[in-house]
Structure 1
Amino acid sequence: MAFSTVLLTIGLGLGAAALPASSGMKNIKNVVVLVQENRSFDTLAGGFTYNSAIDGLVNNDYCNLANVSVPTSENICAADIANNIASDDPDHSITGGNMQVFGTYHPAADAKSSMGGFVTEQSYYYNLQQNMMEAAEVINYYKPDLVPVTEAMAENYVLFDRWFAAVPGPTNPNRAYLTSGTVHGHGSNDNAYNVSMLPQTSIFEQLTEHNITWMNYQNTTGKGSASFLPDALFYQWTAKSGMGDTNVLPISQFYEDAKNGNLPQFTWINPECCDYMSMHPKSPINMGENFMKSIYDAIRGSPQWKDTLFIITWDEHGGFADHVAPPTGVPAGDNIPYTEKALDGKNYTFHFDRLGIRVPAMLISPWVEKGVVQNKPSSGEGDFTHTSILKFVSELWDLPTLGPRVDWSPSFGNLITNKFRDDTPEKMPNAAGY
């Protein structure tokens, strides 16, 4: 039996005229989600010039002090000289994020976000006080021609420029929020994620209960891939139900299913991590771009394209700088806090009451308008975040929302139109090596 597919790519966008959520959403039968790794919005999209409304770095002078504790220290400013392969993997723990956002590891509850501590944290983390050029790597960004796939997707579809990670911390907590709306207190990449120990209800369990087909395809290319389970296998239910054996398949099966029109109603794609195609340092950016191209080209060439929404986003900022302060005062997914030891040796407890740093997100479909740069939701309430995907899915298939964070999250269903586009690119450009 062939399934229809919705292709959803999350990206930078400028508010276009929006239809009611219930109007265009009937055109989406399938959703495909790809979550890449560890890049902030400014890093990847800060240099885009195709639309002056994008809140990037082209028209902003964004700088960090070399040391936030020394007001007279050197001012390090963002430049479009980011490297294809990053020299270092920046700190992206919750306490490292505190320093990056607030200039301290222990911000007060009412602290104001300065977004000025990225270079300081990189300097502390890698002892780079005498090598500011290397420390400055966290604030630099890419010329558009070095990220041609991301730019082409944004320019042809919908790009969000106020989409924030769910957690101001690392990969797995953000992937848990993406797939269940909470982390059950696991704020680091701890062993619970490696042994399917998360007890909460995931989107995969919920879809099964409502007879909605799903698959988690995993790219296992790269020596580091085996160290991370695919996102569906974070959860006790997936492992105990046997769905991990039947519904977690290699990426090769995705390409075959797309070609034959056999993608399920909900497709979740894990990139490999963290050597080649995920964009997580030290993965080459051009290889990550071409992996994204391969997914797009497969969906665009599929018989299911006409029914598909493809969503692309990045799980978290990876320690790379962004100049937009994340929202605070948001509801947590549950009431379980998380405590970790900061680089200064002191404990910090986080209550999951603020969002992570801004990341790119794009919606890709023949049912979205071309070149939309979406800022805040048209309702003016909240900000788009990873759990907006869960909110959209709950509306699309009339499902209960997965907890308080999802309840709070704005949906983007009003960006799906009733006008089918016949001008969508058949293929994305290649990202050349450099």
Structure 2
Amino acid sequence: MAALDEIQTIVILMMENRSFDHMLGHLSMEGLMPEVEGLKKRPDQEPGYGNFFDKEFYFPFLIEDEETLVFRDPPHDRRRVQMQLARSSSGRKFLMSGFVEAYVDYTQDRVEKFSPPMGYFNSNGAWMTSFLARQYCVCDHWFTPLPADTQPNRSMAFTGLTLIDETRSALIPYRDHVFDWLTNRDIRWRVYHDGPPFFLLFGRFGELVGGRFQPISELAHDIQTEAPDRAPQVIFIEPRYFDFFWSDQPPNCNHPPARVCNGELFLHRVYTALTSNPEKWARTLLIITYDEHGGFFDHVQPLRVKSPPPPSPPSLPPEKRARYTQGFETTGPRVPGLLISPWVQPGKAFKGNLDHTSMLQLLAEKFGSGPDDYSASVNDRRAQEIRSLSEALADSPAVRPIPTQPPRSCPPMPSMKRKPQSPNERAFQQAALELLDKEGPMQVGKKYPDLIGAPLTEP
């Protein structure tokens, strides 16, 4: 198709732990994009949104003071996601009514009138996300691939399958990584990171200290000055992660309780850098999505997509075998999905069913022989009607000035240094120590000075 022929650079930015209704449900509610399947105008009076718990109904509400409300990370492990989806007694549908129950089960907090997982942001709170959705293309049926948490879903995004069904305090096992797929086809790729990248958890330590990983501070300069025949064809953008628990710098990945305003500023920074060279921007596609819903309410039922554990014959080494036996029957809830490029119809909502493997299908169409050229596991998702992002692209570019949005301030945030609590925090800790051990503190410190302060693993 014309768009894929003309696009020279694909940029992928994956944020953390927010649902579609939580971040973008306001588009329909405020009348900004009425065709978007978001929240209705009076969400606090919509029966289908009600979460019944402990003899009370809880409804979506506007988050006005994020600091005092979202001070915990809502649950999103496999068991509690099933609780959130609330399968009906007949088993035929999901009521999407267990978010409050799962939150209380996880936190053991007393239930307040406004339960944190039911909160949502409006166009003022999610100002940059809302701007990009309205100016470009929003995908309102992008689902997280699995009803599970971070590591399994990021495995789906960057390897096409998962060997685990829960986030663990260890490096992520995998078989074939998107980096390998690109390298084997001589596709130039690069990672720009604000702090240690999540790719650290895949244990690719030699690459992490190599030239393909660059600080986010270099992005704008490279976009403005690098020759097209030397510039990366695929760029991965990494925010500063909340799970990097020993840093004083405020996280901007949007993982609760990190503030969304920092994430919005990070999106602004990335968009400003990519659009700073109009000639390159004319042939760029920026993809923004979230790894999973983070335990926040969404009213749309997941898709019926079966995901059995990948085959693990005895010939495979132990580190490449599946670590779970019970397959998945659905996707997870919806997450925000944005396509930002001159090669989309401005203000359009794409309605096709997507998940993170839709990005891999797109890469296979652009750099392979077609959407089926990525892997058998991605083909299996495609056979179950998970579509490629290429279907959302326009036949011709939009001819208009590049839309701009002034940045907004974000209040200072207190230090979030803490002891590791979640499995993913401990996984970051282990990966950092292994990287330092394998590559040496001098080489690692030049690229990731934050890692020099990595605390030793607790006994």
Report the counterpart of residue 249 of structure 1 in structure 2. 214
Structure 1 pair 331–155 and aligned structure 2 pair: CA distance change class (3 A): same
1:50 corresponds, among 25, 32, 48, to: 32
User: Is residue 133 from structure 1 mapped to residue 119 from structure 2 by the alignment?
Assistant: no
**Could you tell me whether the CA contact under 8 Å between 1:293 and 1:427 is conserved in 2?**
no
Per-residue deviation, 1:246: 2.9
Report the counterpart of residue 369 of structure 1 in structure 2. 345
User: Relative to structure 2, which stretch is displaced further, 259-268 or 389-398?
Assistant: 259-268
SS at match of 2:161: coil
The answer to which structure has the higher helix fraction is 2
**Could you tell me whether the CA contact under 8 Å between 1:331 and 1:404 is conserved in 2?**
no
Distance across 2 between alignment mates of 1:243 and 1:77? 44
Distance across 2 between alignment mates of 1:124 and 1:103? 17
Q: Which amino acid aligns with 1:405?
A: V
Per-residue deviation, 1:161: 0.6
Report the counterpart of residue 78 of structure 2 in structure 1. 94
Matches within 5 A, 1:242-281: 242=207, 245-261=210-226, 263-274=231-242, 275-281=250-256
Distance across 2 between alignment mates of 1:122 and 1:216? 35
Matches within 5 A, 1:272-291: 272-274=240-242, 275-291=250-266
**Could you tell me whether the CA contact under 8 Å between 2:155 and 2:174 is conserved in 1?**
no
1:307 corresponds, among 283, 288, 294, to: 283
Gaps of 5+ in 2: 243-249, 313-321, 412-459
**Could you tell me whether the CA contact under 8 Å between 1:82 and 1:137 is conserved in 2?**
no
Matches within 5 A, 1:93-132: 93-102=77-86, 110=91, 112-128=93-109, 130-132=110-112
Per chain length, whose mean CA-contact separation is higher, i.e. which structure has more relative contact order (CA < 8 Å, sep 6+)?
Answer: 1
Per-residue deviation, 1:244: 5.4
Distance across 1 between alignment mates of 2:298 and 2:150? 17
Q: Which amino acid aligns with 2:167?
A: S
SS at match of 1:192: coil
Report the counterpart of residue 193 of structure 2 in structure 1. 218
Distance across 1 between alignment mates of 2:391 and 2:52? 43
Per-residue deviation, 1:424: 4.6
Per-residue deviation, 1:111: 5.9
Q: Which amino acid aligns with 1:422?
A: V
User: Is residue 327 from structure 1 mapped to residue 327 from structure 2 by the alignment?
Assistant: no
SS at match of 1:146: coil
Report the counterpart of residue 316 of structure 1 in structure 2. 292
Report the counterpart of residue 18 of structure 1 in structure 2. none
2:361 corresponds, among 378, 391, 394, to: 391
User: Relative to structure 2, which stretch is displaced further, 36-45 or 411-420?
Assistant: 411-420
Distance across 1 between alignment mates of 2:379 and 2:107? 36
Matches within 5 A, 1:104-183: 110=91, 112-128=93-109, 130-133=110-113, 136-183=115-162
User: Relative to structure 2, which stretch is displaced further, 393-402 or 412-421?
Assistant: 412-421
**Could you tell me whether the CA contact under 8 Å between 1:387 and 1:406 is conserved in 2?**
no
Structure 1 pair 65–218 and aligned structure 2 pair: CA distance change class (3 A): same
1:425 corresponds, among 402, 423, 440, to: 402
Per-residue deviation, 1:417: 2.7
**Could you tell me whether the CA contact under 8 Å between 1:180 and 1:402 is conserved in 2?**
no
Report the counterpart of residue 357 of structure 1 in structure 2. 333
Per-residue deviation, 1:53: 1.2
**Could you tell me whether the CA contact under 8 Å between 1:201 and 1:402 is conserved in 2?**
no
Report the counterpart of residue 51 of structure 2 in structure 1. 65
Per-residue deviation, 1:288: 0.5
2:376 corresponds, among 397, 403, 426, to: 403
Q: TM-score, normalised by structure 2?
A: 0.76
Per-residue deviation, 1:169: 1.7
Structure 1 pair 352–251 and aligned structure 2 pair: CA distance change class (3 A): farther
**Could you tell me whether the CA contact under 8 Å between 2:146 and 2:328 is conserved in 1?**
yes
1:295 corresponds, among 270, 276, 279, to: 270
Per-residue deviation, 1:95: 1.0
Distance across 1 between alignment mates of 2:92 and 2:311? 22
**Could you tell me whether the CA contact under 8 Å between 2:2 and 2:396 is conserved in 1?**
no
Structure 1 pair 393–367 and aligned structure 2 pair: CA distance change class (3 A): same
Per-residue deviation, 1:314: 0.9
SS at match of 2:62: coil
Per-residue deviation, 1:125: 1.2
Matches within 5 A, 1:25-44: 25-44=4-23
Distance across 1 between alignment mates of 2:72 and 2:357? 29
Gaps of 5+ in 1: 1-21, 221-225, 340-348, 377-382
User: Relative to structure 2, which stretch is displaced further, 148-157 or 299-308?
Assistant: 299-308
Distance across 2 between alignment mates of 1:420 and 1:327? 31
Report the counterpart of residue 188 of structure 1 in structure 2. 167
Distance across 1 between alignment mates of 2:289 and 2:270? 13
SS at match of 2:164: coil
| Cα distance per residue 1:22-60 (max 9 Å; x no partner) | 232111111001111110000001111212111111345
**Could you tell me whether the CA contact under 8 Å between 2:240 and 2:251 is conserved in 1?**
yes
User: Relative to structure 2, which stretch is displaced further, 252-261 or 92-101?
Assistant: 252-261
SS at match of 1:32: strand
**Could you tell me whether the CA contact under 8 Å between 1:158 and 1:370 is conserved in 2?**
yes
